[in-house]
Structure 1
């Protein structure tokens, strides 16, 4: 350690070019990936892809609102740069919904979603640049904080400090880096992958033997080979499907009766979908598993999904924006509006509006605003009176 580094360490400062701890450098590229299956390979499992997609796209589709606190009130800050970004895009190549979907998918599958905060020369917010987690190496500075070395694809790297990035992460093990659910529940993912692999081989090999040829007389090895080659030549493949089988010398054909149900293959695959849904906290009907579905519980599942799956991730995103984008004490905040998911059916929603109107909690125009309609103006004659 140089004298400058010692002084910086004693004073509690940190330097962008602090040397990385070798243990962190070795670990970081694979953080969030388990030894059994990678995040990319896990998406070959339809339940994993469906669960991560329904969470990411659902949060990406809801309104993102920027507010400024003024006294005891909250006022929508339409002049804030983030307001423009949420509507016009985070950069020239990516819209706001695409950005949220990328960040959340990365956090769900690898444990971490990272984006660089882009600012103008005077420090104003200009946009965000999503960074795939596979391009990131995490290092620990002398101050104890994390820094992120990002590969540029040409053999070089550049270092980003915590205040220069949005870092969305799943639950950590205390080191500040998120750990993927695929890693925490590696046995579950491996078991489902093994079941799918067995099913694939089962189907590729015909699913089951078509039948068994029995002979009353013992056959020599040469006779067995001749029988096998003739049988495959005349009765195997799609071109020979349905041909009449002719046997001589007292031979008999017995059809095999092994089925996927007998091998418990179908039930194992159904259970695998439920296990992955449990891992991502997604109600099975939302990923097209209707085995236990009714009209009543499907509606309830949507509200459950909003309250217990989307709301925690929305709060994480809002808190991360408060940490890295908005300056302390500025009074600005980001809100991801989940009210659309929580409204319920139209009858219930409008009955709630009716109660609010009768109790004087809301006005007619406030109800119209909640529903996304313009205020209702009074006729000119009434205004004159």
Structure 2
């Protein structure tokens, strides 16, 4: 057991370059001009970076995935029985659920500009699993033929080569079309300055918020460099650690002089605030979403939230959708993948109520569709779109005008007031138009139910009992022309 314990500790060394060491799995870091090493994982030490990455990852993971099949009439039908839907919305691999899987991949994209998954398929060509691979372990190699492949370093130090058909590669902004550019590497100077300011603040308060820089004036001289070194070491030992804050005693006419600028002179707080805005700008996240409310108002937060959906999450969703459709679908699959933003765009109760009311009253939304959108079960009889009675389709209006012109009697000399004549003509046209529309609906349905009876009563302003009595006199099968004539007679007797 002792031997294995020793080997485990040896392998845990981050500086070990042996095949079983962790050296090759450490994220690539670049030293910025501020002297700070900046890496994707190291950048997460900044609260603003962590907040932005978390917002992007969690938002992307929470969007419902919808798979559509296009219809010939231009509509779309949802597909839930295809293997692609099960892969994206149910179980992407044996270890993760869809939320964890998408959250991790989006985090890789936000920090490193690339996300990789190994494609595992069955003999039919259907993808059964998408196993994520850490981007730091993947390299892209361009071959002499112009094609490229992926070289992946495994946990045991071995390297495995995968053809590009076995790796699903999600790329961020790319300069060569092969690898996405790392946002952390591109912004290393800004992030390095933020890390340096953060570390400086920590050291400042470690020293009890007192400056420690200074120099000692000594009127004499040290007899040799060793004596000077001994004095310096003894002074530092007397003023550091548990001795910090104790009274300083100097001999032989020595004087202590403080040097350096104050935090106020260095505009430390202003720099820290600017860095939060700078990081939010880098990830295109509204500052108020990472708790920076300095310039937020009640009126502009809502607009910024909409801009976050339109200008931040929509491009990410389009990137995912395009990659899924081009790299994961079979050639014969006529499907479309879409991330549904409806939940992100939902307003308050009053706004949703006005939206549903407008849609239902204008006929482009059914009552059951509104119920489903509010997570309510549909009810029988609420699937037909409604249409205002004072509005008709152009085709119905033209037919009504033609019927009116052909059926209007010739004018006589003893006609009454022209105003009454015009009112009567307008009423007759309305009755004929409604009668033609109702007759077409009844003939198409083939039955006269309670819904049609109520609709006729509302159209002509009649009692339901009178319309029910009229309905009992109608013979089946219904003929549109006969029904229209009978409805005109019914309506004119109003």
**TM more than 0.5:** yes
Aligned CA distance change for structure 1 residues 344 and 34 (closer, same or farther; 3 Å): farther
Q: Which of the numbers 110, 113, 118 marks the counterpart of 1:111?
A: 113
Separation in 1, partners of 2:287, 2:121: 42
How far off is 1:136 after superposition? Answer: 0.6
Q: Which of the numbers 284, 287, 293 marks the counterpart of 1:284?
A: 287
Q: Number of matched residues? A: 349
* Residues 108-166 of structure 1 deviation map (CA, whole Å, 9 limit, x = unaligned): 11110111122112221212101000111111123323211112222322222233222
Conserved 8 A contact 1:66-1:83: yes
* Residues 275-307 of structure 1 deviation map (CA, whole Å, 9 limit, x = unaligned): 010011000111111222223322222211111
1:48 aligns with 2:28: no
Aligned CA distance change for structure 1 residues 271 and 132 (closer, same or farther; 3 Å): same
Bigger drift between 343-352 and 357-366 goes to 343-352
Unaligned runs of 5+ in 1: 1-27, 213-217, 246-254
* Residues 76-99 of structure 1 deviation map (CA, whole Å, 9 limit, x = unaligned): 111111222334321121111111
Separation in 1, partners of 2:27, 2:146: 18
Aligned CA distance change for structure 1 residues 236 and 219 (closer, same or farther; 3 Å): farther
Conserved 8 A contact 1:39-1:182: yes
1:73 aligned residue: 75
Conserved 8 A contact 2:94-2:129: no
Q: Which of the numbers 151, 162, 165 marks the counterpart of 1:163?
A: 165
* Residues 204-223 of structure 1 deviation map (CA, whole Å, 9 limit, x = unaligned): 223224999xxxxx99999x
1:251 aligned residue: none
Conserved 8 A contact 2:27-2:40: no
Higher relative contact order at CA 8 Å, sep ≥6: structure 1 or structure 2?
1
Separation in 2, partners of 1:96, 1:31: 26
Separation in 2, partners of 1:230, 1:112: 49
Separation in 2, partners of 1:319, 1:383: 45
Separation in 2, partners of 1:368, 1:162: 46
Secondary structure of residue in 2 paired with 1:321: helix
TM-score (norm 2): 0.61
How far off is 1:30 after superposition? Answer: 10
Separation in 2, partners of 1:116, 1:149: 12
1:143 aligned residue: 145
Separation in 2, partners of 1:32, 1:329: 41
Separation in 2, partners of 1:316, 1:376: 38
Secondary structure of residue in 1 paired with 2:344: helix
Q: Which of the numbers 168, 182, 203 marks the counterpart of 1:201?
A: 203
Conserved 8 A contact 1:50-1:287: yes
2:326 aligned residue: 323
Conserved 8 A contact 1:326-1:333: no
Conserved 8 A contact 2:207-2:244: no
Separation in 2, partners of 1:74, 1:345: 28
Separation in 2, partners of 1:315, 1:192: 32
Secondary structure of residue in 2 paired with 1:121: coil
Aligned CA distance change for structure 1 residues 119 and 207 (closer, same or farther; 3 Å): same
RMSD: 4.0
Larger Rg: 2
Conserved 8 A contact 1:314-1:336: yes
Aligned CA distance change for structure 1 residues 162 and 382 (closer, same or farther; 3 Å): farther
How far off is 1:332 after superposition? Answer: 1.1
2:132 aligned residue: 130
* Residues 325-344 of structure 1 deviation map (CA, whole Å, 9 limit, x = unaligned): 11235211211111211233
Aligned CA distance change for structure 1 residues 145 and 377 (closer, same or farther; 3 Å): same
2:95 aligned residue: 93
Bigger drift between 70-79 and 304-313 goes to 70-79
2:186 aligned residue: 184
1:17 aligned residue: none
1:21 aligned residue: none
Separation in 1, partners of 2:331, 2:380: 40
Separation in 1, partners of 2:56, 2:297: 22
* Residues 152-211 of structure 1 deviation map (CA, whole Å, 9 limit, x = unaligned): 222322222233222111111124210011122222122212222222222222322499
Separation in 1, partners of 2:195, 2:211: 24
